Amino acid sequence: MGELEYNFDVFVSHSSNDNDKTLLIADFLRDNGLRVWLDLWSIPPSAHRVTAILEGLRQSRKTLVCCSKRATDSDWVAFETSLNILDDPLNRGRRFVLLRLDDVGLPVPFNQFQTIDWFKKKRADEHRRMLLDALSPPNGSTAVGSSVGRPPKSDRGGNGKGDWTSHVEETSPDGKRVLCADDHTLQLRFLKSRRKPVLLTGHARRIDCLAWSVDSRRALSGSREGKICLWDIERGKRERVLEGHQGEILCLAFSQDGRYALSGARDNTLRHWELASGSCRIHTGHGDSVTSVAWNTNPRFALTGSLDKLVRLWDLELGICVAMREGHLDGIRLVTWCPDQRRAVSSDGVGEAMAWDFSSSIPPVIQEQLDYSGASSPAGR
């Protein structure tokens, strides 16, 4: 792919209720030499707003998310930030920067990231320097662009520590470890210590997806033989094998409490696993490979995206699809929930992103933990 220079250094995402503060911030950034995309400056009156936003995000090297109590309910802020989270949920590429305009508490998933406080006057100079450092181009150069919302691809090799080259890698939520998959072997690296990497073996064919538990103590790996391995990271050992899929595993996700997992595969099914027993429920409905899964904070519901170009919302307790969205012209590669957990964003193979509202399908009360006593499926071993 040819290299494209970004037209903007920063895309400013904000609520219209914060226009006065946002304009001051944008002026500050522009006065310090940054090229700023701001809707008030960059969207012509006759332009289609969603199209203009997608193009602005594609042309911007980073996104500045202006967080405030009034921005919490902003549909546009949720939409714009979700496009960044979609491709980089752990913000490893530092594609988005969080700026608090007041003492608002940050919802999941933003509360795990470092924030800069604009509103604290006692340390105003320090925070302004931090903001410029976070947004300024490296060495004053222009960054290389790629598809909408997707950070430039980087060398995912051994970081100068040998010739290990991984095609899949995932950093733990606590930022202390990273799992790297090379063909059918996993390597566990320690980012904040001098411990030697640990090799984890158990797959016979290439590993194509990984997932960490929220507490960073366990991980899942899925491979082309249709097998899922559950790893005890603390002990560096395989805890269980989950079998049943009849095709390559393409996506994995842990529940918040770490007791359950979801998997999607080329056999067009979503499977819902109880990790303690290895039993699962099988959910069918997609007409092609299930490529992405996203669990709602209400553990009863989950989203899937498929190469059949459909987004489905599942009631995992009832075992049925309760909502379906269509509109993509290419197979879906990623789905993610917006911070309010009522709306979602999906992205397809040609880089088109779409936003969906599932508010009418998800009740506000979180259901009790699901009962798996009647679950049936080949148990793990």
Q: Tell me: the pLDDT tens digits for 162-195?
A: 333 346 788 888 888 889 888 888 989 988 788 8
Q: Please, what are the domains in the chain? A: 4-145 (3.40.50.10140), 168-361 (2.130.10.10)
Rounded distance between C-alpha atoms, residue 15 and residue 146, angstroms: 26
pLDDT tens digits, one per residue of 10-49: 999 988 888 889 999 999 998 888 999 998 888 877 778 7
Strand locations in 132-289 (E) = 144-145, 168-171, 177-182, 185-190, 198-200, 207-212, 218-223, 227-232, 237-243, 249-254, 260-265, 270-274, 280-283
Question: Residue with structure tokens 């009418």?
Answer: 360
Q: Report the distance separating Cα 199 and Cα 166, nearest Å.
A: 13
Query: How many angstroms separate the CA atoms of 42 and 378, rounded?
Result: 55
The answer to whether residues 293 and 304 touch, using CB atoms and an 8 Å cutoff, is yes
Nearest-10 crossing angle of helices 19-31, 124-135: 70
Question: By CB neighbour count within 10 A (0-12 exposed, 13-18 middle, 19+ buried), where does 321 fall?
Answer: middle
Lowest mean pLDDT among 62-76, 137-151, 349-363: 137-151
C-alpha dihedral sign at 367, 371, 376, 378 = positive
Question: For residue range 258-298, what is the model confidence (pLDDT) as tens digits?
Answer: 999 999 999 999 999 999 999 999 999 999 999 999 999 89
pLDDT digits (tens, 9 = 90+) for 209-267: 999 999 999 999 999 999 999 999 999 999 999 999 999 999 999 999 999 999 999 99
8 by DSSP, 3-state: which?
A: strand
CA dist., res. 108 & res. 113, Å (int): 10
